[in-house]
Amino acid sequence: VASMVVFTHGRADTQEYKSFNIRLGETPNDYGMLKEALTRRQLHPEWGMPNVVLIDGGKGQLRAALSVWKWQTPVVSLAKDPDQLLIYNQETRLYTEHPLRERDPASILLQRVRDEAHRFAKSRHTRRRTKSVLE
């Protein structure tokens, strides 16, 4: 299950959350699942255009996302250990790493978005597993 959370003016907009049951296959493929979710998201412009797309992961995930993302919306990723924002510059074709600063409001918001996406994906995955056991 891939998740999409929406924050508006720094607050979770739970009515806009979406989850995608990945159809890729049984073998886990992080990049393939990410590509599928983003490709399917772009099939629904009626959901509104995001101001920015935040991917959970490092350079590999960001590279995978950029390979399928067709809209002009910026795509960035949030890597862990240490927490840092990764940005790809189309003109220079370079990735830049921006360490998140403790107690910085922007850093805290980025971490909240990531953590909320994890929470939502986990709840959807649990719901899906429970449903399949009951069937």
What tens digit of pLDDT does each residue of 72-97 get?
999 999 999 889 999 999 889 899 99
Cis peptide, bond prior to residue 28, ω within 30 of zero:
no
CA distances for 135 relative to 108, 125, 130, angstroms: 41, 16, 9
- Does residue 24 surpass a pLDDT of 90? no
User: How confident is the model over 95-109, as pLDDT tens digits?
Assistant: 999 999 999 999 999
Q: Quick one: what percent of the chain has pLDDT higher than 70?
A: 96
Q: How confident is the model at residue 135 (pLDDT cuts 50, 70, 90)?
A: low
Task: Kindly list the structural domains of the chain, giving each domain's residue range(s) and its CATH number in brackets, ordered by start.
Answer: 2-130 (3.30.420.340)
Length of the chain equals 135
Q: Are 69 and 53 in contact (CB under 8 A)?
A: yes
Question: Residue 12's beta-bridge partner residues?
Answer: 7
Q: Residue 29 pLDDT more than 70? A: yes
| pLDDT value of position 124 | 84
Total-model pTM: 0.87
Provide mean pLDDT across the span 31-54: 96
Alpha-carbon gap, residue 90 to 130, rounded angstroms? 43
